[in-house]
Structure formats: C-alpha cells, structure tokens
Copies of this chain bind each other. A is one copy, B any other.
C-alpha cells in the first residue's frame, strides 16, 4: 500500500472490506502519524498532537460505526499536516502553511517537486483505494452510501462552539437532511445542517470526487471532539449514531420507493 515516492509507510487502511452494509465509511483525518521522512515540520510535540494534525476521536467513532453497521471503513494513516486528504492538491489547506493559530514551518516553502511528491505519496494512493472500494461495489450492483466521519474542535480561534453534531452535504442534500431529522428525533445532540462549515468552504472534496460523480448518496459527519475524547466515549457515540444512520437511509429509500 505504500507509494513509489515519499514515505515507505502505508498511507491508508481498509477495514472490514467484506462488510455487508451499503454504508462505506471514510475517515480522512484518522491519524496524526507523521512519517519520519517529514521530520517534525518544525512543530512542537504538542502541536503535532493537536486537532490541527488530525480529527481526535474520529477513527474510534468510525470503527464503532463500522462494527455496528457491518460496514467497510477506509481510513488514513498519515497526518493531514503532510496532506489533507479532504482537499484537492491546489488548495492551500492540502499542505497547510498555517492551521488555525499554528504556523507550520515545514510547509511554508514547499517546492513544486515537494507538492507533487506528497500528492503522489498520500493523496493519490488513498483516493485510488477508496475509488476501488466504490467501483467494485458499483460493478456488482451494490452502489455504496458514502459517509465521511470527522471531528471538530470545541474552541476555534478562542471561540467556544455549542454545536455538537454537524451534518454536511455536497451537491445532493437528500441523505444529510434525513440524518439531521433522525438525529434530532433520536438523540439530544445539538445537531445542525452545514455547520460548523459547508461545501462552500471547500470541505466536501472527498464527497465531490468520489460520491457525486456516481450519484451516490453521501453525507459528511462532524462530531465535536470533546464528546469523543476517549475510547468509551467514541463507542458510546457510535452506539447513538449507528441507528441514526440506519433510519436516515431507510427513510430516504422508503421515500423513493413511494415516489417511484
């Protein structure tokens, strides 16, 4: 799974590939692992462990959902400070020189060759692997439902956020609307559509690249990371959200069946 250039470490993993669910889960910011080839990027250990490096709790939540839904999960194994897999290669945030209040010295003056090498080492193999999982399912008449799983920081630029669960869509809002409806019905989570950001902020790259071209149902989930701050909390959240996803999808399909 390693690429021909860049770090000789796997940049992604696929778990439960044979899962029987229609859901296909994706966690682009699962890891804060910084391969040795990139040094420290000029960051302190604290910064390299902060939310700028990854989405704390997202992988544990994704695994809890994969288990309960029997879903395949594709997740990153490299920090987004090297390459943010939910951004296209030209986006400033793909290899960010600044993230929230942190400067990232190792990304300040990347050459075109370095940008190319990171794109080849991280972005292309991850998205090729995800594309493979999607295309294989489509080929056998089991088009997957793409759910990307993220977490967001409770305090951003010094400002606390009261949102707990954000549900974001790309071009097609259908599944996102059902997830919001079911979360509000089934949980006490402060849930809102297209918060803390939306497609207009260029945060739906994975959905746009992988789901929208095939007309697949899709949604991006954002959970406030203080709610999934340790393994038990991650699993509890998966226990709350798995039925929300299941009901949202069956409501969506029921609606289509009625109108067909």
- Residues of A participating in the B interface, judged by any CB pair closer than 8 Å: 88-90, 94, 112, 115-116, 118-120, 123-124, 127-128, 131-132, 135-136, 138-141, 143, 205, 208-209, 212-214
Contact = CB atoms under 8 A, between A and B. Distances in A.
Contacts of A120: 132, 136
A135 B112 contact: no
Nearest to A118: B139
Interface centre among A116, A139, A214 (most CB of B within 10 A): A139
B136 A116 contact: yes
Contacts of A88: 135, 138, 213-214
Given A127-B131, A128-B124, A138 B213 contact: no
Contacts of A143: 90
A94 B136 CA distance: 13
A223 B119 CA distance: 35
A118 B120 CA distance: 25
B139 A90 contact: yes
Contacts of A118: 139
A138 to B, nearest CB: 5
Given A208-B213, A213-B213, 12 more contacts: A89-B139, A90-B141, A112-B139, A118-B139, A119-B135, A119-B138, A119-B139, A120-B132, A123-B135, A124-B131, A128-B131, A131-B131
B127 A139 contact: no
A116 B131 contact: no
Contacts of A135: 88-89, 119, 123-124
10 contacts: A89-B135, A89-B139, A90-B143, A94-B139, A118-B139, A119-B135, A119-B138, A124-B132, A124-B135, A205-B213
B212 A213 contact: yes
A143 B139 CA distance: 30
Contacts of A94: 139
A19 to B, nearest CB: 16
A100 to B, nearest CB: 23
A119 B143 CA distance: 14
Contact of A138 (B89, B136, B141, B208): B89
